[in-house]
A and B are shown apart, each in its own frame.
Chain A
Amino acid sequence: MTDIPSGAVARPAMDKVRASLSRRHRRQFILQALGVTAISLAFLMLFILLASLISSGHKAFTQTEITLQVFIDPGEIRSERLPRGDFDDVLAAALVAHLPSVDPNDRAAMRVVGGILSNGAQFQLRDRVVADPSLIGQTIALRVPVSDPYDQLHKNLLDRTTPESQRRLDDTQIAFFDRLNGIGAISTSVNTGLLTNADSRFPELAGLKGAIVGSFWALLTCFLISFPLGIGAAIYLEEFAPRTKLSDVIEVNINNLAAVPSVVFGLLALAVFIGWFGMPRSAPLVGGMTLALMTMPTIIIATRAALKAVPPSIREAALGVGASKQQVVFGHVVPLAMPGILTGTIIGLAQALGETAPLLLIGMNAFITSAPPTPFDSATALPTQIFIWADSPERGFVSRTSAAILVLLSFLILMNAIAIYLRSKFERKW
């Protein structure tokens, strides 16, 4: 029996609590405020990055083109000499028809006129004539890209108010272009070439096809090597390996491997794959093998985490009804862990897609004007293509570099979206 009123004991404590309450509220408020600030800063950075990429990159998604009525002069192009022929002269003649001030016999002036068209225009015309030689002697409508300085002019990237001597185009050239624009020959269209052309020296012709195909081959090789090896290693370590000093050492090493800078793997690949095995430089196959070295630890770690997350009751139940260890693992544990494994794999591959340093070392930053038909042919990858374009002097590559980064980012977002979808669709809660 006690008659100590409970309130008497509680009161000093309550007072203390009350006294500290405002301080605790304040602390919580500060913590939350800091959290919100951190998130806003992170978003601000992301916003700045995307905004600067989009503001400079969006211009590369359109291309200025010119529509010409081209008379395919049988005097200049003869069917027996195809595919050779003076296609550039034919095009210049078609242009000069709209520019009465130019004397067609003045070679220097004609060169300036021909410079309005992209260097690729003559080959576009050639391919059409080669495909159908009966076009010789006829007049056809042809839509071809204009060359980079005029493209910049049309996109208002070239300032007309700068003094003439400091401009890429002088007043006559601008007058030519304005006249062509005045008669409606100039149009702007979506730049499909950005995705369907391979690399080129001329910004208006350069595209990412070679890089995308090269990245695809490299990622395929990387997946075929790192996925089975990574899963195999993880299953063995998690389900079968006895817990010894050795397995601890292996575990520490795998975790360390995941943190090794990628450039180290590049040097290793240069010495081993290219130096000893004599594999071809610049090939996506070698790139993929190098990327596999750095993706594998990521896959092993993700797979082990996924296997660990499967509850022991599943294993025990299967063992209880007489399944062998192998049946337990492959019949029950691995299928249940699959969504986690796939998520880890896709994130690992997404990382590999953006990796640049090892690819530079094995020569995947070469200039190649065609897409690689097999993984053994030389190619670039998306990040190394960005690297090459960023280093090109032509002004048109500035916006193309940003556009290529946007393309790379959309591939990364796509891959991560697939990973999230797989996880939310197939993941089981226990």
Chain B
Amino acid sequence: MPYPKLTASVFAVAAISTTAAFAQSRDAIRIVGSSTVFPYTQAVAEQFVNNTGAPSPVVESTGTGGGMQIFCGGIGESHADVTGASRAMKASEFELCQKNGVTDITEALIGFDGLSLAISRKNDFGWNLTLGEVYLALGAQVPVNGEWVDNPYTKWSDINPGLPETEILAYGPPPTSGTRDAFVELAMHAGCEELDYVATGGFDGDWVEENCSRMRTDGPFVEAGENDNLIVQRIEADPNAMGIFGYSFLYENMDKLKGVQIKGVEPSIDTIADKSYPVSRPLYFYIKNAHRGVIPNLDAFIEEYMSDDALASGGYLSERGLVPLAEDRMQTLQDNVLNGQSMEGPAG
């Protein structure tokens, strides 16, 4: 056999045999998804290993969107079993799943996470904003004198004379982050709808979706990357800057940061749970039912996730900042998930 052919066939054989070698069974559960759900899944994974002695699940923080891409890639050993999400699965993602044969998915709403606007304790103003003011400070386009124009405001006092005369500056997550999606939906859209211009102008939800989803890009809003700790450090260093991140980061840094009140309500476990703090979002995870009973220990892992020890109020997830569901909803959730109820597909 001449040389190049020999080499080519050796490579081909090597490639095939490696593929074959890795197609064999895997014994660890693979979990991908949102960086917000990540700490909770980590806690469950660790508890699960300690309780059962099973091989350690592999938990990867890929972001909600990235997790969906991997999760919906297909059925089989090389695809993830569970993905976490800081928003419900989108219709486009559900279609992707269907297209790749992932048809039987169970959706689990595990609880809520507050999104907090926070500022350094060195700033001595008692911050109390409405969502409308938050939108006027950070939205790309705002109404000025009945015109929908690029955001002209640079100081808080421009928006409301009762606010300090300091530059508007907020650090927040980039568009790839589920936290950003949630912030846009819960704070920006809601804030936009509060404005007189929108409320009296007869604009509908689609208009709001189209025009109020963009954060401003002229400086006052800074995308600070997926690393929430970095945002915490930056706003610690600059007493006039605000930060946007998950409540658990505020909770861990209460000695240095304070939450900005929204309409007089401070973010806390209680106010997020009773919904009086408006910027809170649901956290989900999705299970690929075709993998149940195939991947070893997957069922046991889901049982641990669904146990009262983990989920109920006072459970170890609420100690990490998760705001649990009400008791009756949790009961339904546990039943649905353990029975592997298949989801219908998102409405939107």
Contacts and interface: CB of A to CB of B under 8 A. Distances in A.
B286 interface: no
A168 B23 CA distance: 48
Interface string A153-170: 000001100100111100
B188 to A, nearest CB: 24
A278 interface: yes
Interface in A354-383: 363, 365-370, 376-378
Contacts, number: 98
A281 B56 CA distance: 15
A219 B43 CA distance: 30
A276 B46 CA distance: 32
A110 to B, nearest CB: 12
A367 B60 contact: yes
A393 B228 contact: yes
A415 to B, nearest CB: 28
Contact of A159 (B42, B46, B62, B255): B255
B28 A167 contact: no
A366 B59 contact: yes
Interface stretch (B14-22, B129-137, B157-165, B333-341): B14-22
Nearest to B254: A166
Contacts of B60: 281-282, 363, 365-367
The secondary structure that dominates the A interface is loop
Contacts of A281: 30, 60, 78
Interface residues of B, number: 44
A14 to B, nearest CB: 62
A430 interface: no
A392 B42 CA distance: 11
Interface residues of A, number: 39
B56 A168 contact: no
Contacts of B42: 201, 367
The secondary structure that dominates the B interface is mixed
A193 interface: no
B229 interface: yes
A111 B42 CA distance: 22
Given A111-B314, A282-B60, A391 B252 contact: no
A365 B45 CA distance: 15
A378 B22 contact: no
A316 interface: no
Nearest to A389: B229
Interface in B80-109: none
13 contacts: A119-B316, A158-B255, A201-B320, A276-B15, A279-B22, A281-B60, A367-B41, A367-B60, A368-B58, A368-B59, A391-B61, A392-B39, A395-B252
